[in-house]
């Protein structure tokens, strides 16, 4: 188990904030997780479990011990008539794993190409894009409790998935660590979803028929055209959740703002496009000091270089206030604020 003291976390968070950890443990195998749990300077002084660093904003230097998820591995667990169950270690890069499944001809994850982060963090947030969420293909996962080191298996239902929610973000938050995740994917008769966002338009522009690879490539192209590369411009992707409101509220907004995208939900409520709200509140491309909302995608908060956590949070807070003043809609941050 590798340990760094007074370690910079700049390489491990996509906002590129140069904060330090008093102790940084690199957990490169499941055995390292057990050792970290038993180490008197490890979990006993635990402050943060660090995945891909793509869904957090580190507000300051961290005392105690930070554990970085870094173990990897992939395997086929089961093959059946028209399906395959594959398992990936929590430390696998999400995008690379998705591309691997597409290359194998397995369907289900292609619409979630180029999402930053690790496999182990995908279920926590129930990440999703272009009409697909983690819950749609997750078969089960293995999770270790911090208090006694016991490993449990969770079925899809036991994960209690919701919109950018799960039991690991709710009742079991900070109580354990996901070790590996299994996905049930199709080997034929794939669901080729192209109606969400501009996927169909991208396929048409490229002269491509829908397939696992063409859809993955279309999603990658769309995301690259709209979202800044964290290596060049610090960001965490979508900073706010798309808000869900009562049908009557959505109807009132639609009468006043006909161009506002709305997505009716099964429970009668309506999901609104946060990016549209932010843009029409005047924040798209607006910069305050070293922080601001991206010029091509209003939903993305960016670090233009040298921004502090306080600057980033200040912009996010003002965006929330202005959207509420303009539309009466509350925006909830999708990104976790750490150390605040």
Q: Between helices 94-103 and 212-226, what is the axis angle to 10°?
A: 150
Q: Which of 113, 140, 236, 238 is catalytic?
A: 238
Burial of 272 (0-12, 13-18, 19+ CB in 10 A): buried
Q: Say which residue the tokens 């399906």 belong to.
A: 83
Residue 121 C-beta-side C-alpha neighbours within 13 Å: 22
Q: Residue 113 in contact with residue 146, Cβ under 8 Å?
A: no
Rounded to whole angstroms, the Cα distance separating 187 from 79 reads 9
59: tokens are 């507000």
Residue 340 falls in the annotated catalytic set: no
Q: Residue 212 in contact with residue 110, Cβ under 8 Å?
A: yes
Burial 304-324 (b: 16+ CB within 10 A, else e): beebbbebbbebbeebbebbe
Burial 72-87 (b: 16+ CB within 10 A, else e): beeeeeeeeeebbbbb
Q: Which of 87, 133, 202, 334 is catalytic?
A: 334
Beta-carbon count within 10 A of 30 CB: 19
Q: Could you give the 3-state DSSP secondary structure of residue 78?
A: strand
Residue 164 falls in the annotated catalytic set: yes
Query: Residue 140: which region, alpha, beta or left (left: phi > 0; alpha: psi -120 to 50)?
Result: beta
CA proximity to 84, closest of 179, 158, 190, 156:
190
First-to-final CA distance of the chain: 29
Q: Which of 68, 164, 184, 223 is catalytic?
A: 164
> What residues are annotated to the active site?
164, 238, 334
């Amino acid at each position: 188990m590798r340990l760094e003291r007074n370690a910079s976390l700049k390489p491990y968070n996509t906002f590129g904030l140069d904060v330090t950890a008093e102790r940084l443990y690199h957990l490169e195998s499941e055995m390292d997780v057990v050792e970290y749990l038993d180490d008197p300077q490890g979990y006993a002084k635990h402050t943060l479990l660090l995945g891909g660093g793509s869904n957090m904003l580190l507000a300051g230097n961290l005392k105690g011990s930070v554990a970085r998820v870094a173990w990897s591995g992939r395997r086929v667990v089961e093959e059946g008539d028209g399906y395959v169950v594959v398992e990936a270690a929590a430390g696998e890069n999400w995008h690379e794993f998705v591309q691997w499944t597409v290359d194998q001809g397995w369907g289900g994850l292609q619409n979630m190409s180029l999402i930053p982060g690790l496999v182990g963090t995908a279920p926590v947030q129930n990440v999703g894009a272009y009409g697909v969420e983690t819950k749609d293909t997750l078969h089960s996962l293995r999770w270790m409790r911090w208090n006694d080191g016991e490993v449990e298996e969770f079925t899809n239902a036991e994960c209690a998935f919701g919109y950018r929610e799960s039991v690991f973000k709710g009742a079991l938050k900070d109580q354990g660590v996901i070790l590996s995740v299994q996905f049930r994917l199709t080997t034929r008769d794939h669901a080729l979803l192209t109606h969400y966002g501009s996927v169909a338009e991208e396929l048409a522009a490229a002269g491509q028929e829908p397939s696992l690879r063409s859809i993955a490539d279309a999603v990658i192209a769309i995301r690259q055209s709209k979202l800044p590369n964290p290596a060049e411009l610090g960001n965490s992707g979508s900073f706010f959740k798309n808000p869900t409101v009562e049908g009557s509220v959505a109807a009132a907004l639609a009468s006043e703002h006909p161009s506002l995208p709305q997505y009716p939900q099964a429970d009668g409520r309506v999901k609104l496009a946060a990016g549209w709200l932010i843009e029409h509140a005047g924040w798209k491309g607006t910069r305050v000091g070293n922080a601001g909302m991206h010029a091509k995608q209003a939903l993305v908060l960016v670090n233009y270089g040298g921004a502090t956590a306080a600057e980033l949070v200040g912009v996010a807070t003002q965006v929330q206030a202005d959207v509420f003043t303009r539309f009466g809609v509350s925006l909830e941050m999708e990104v976790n604020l750490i150390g605040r």
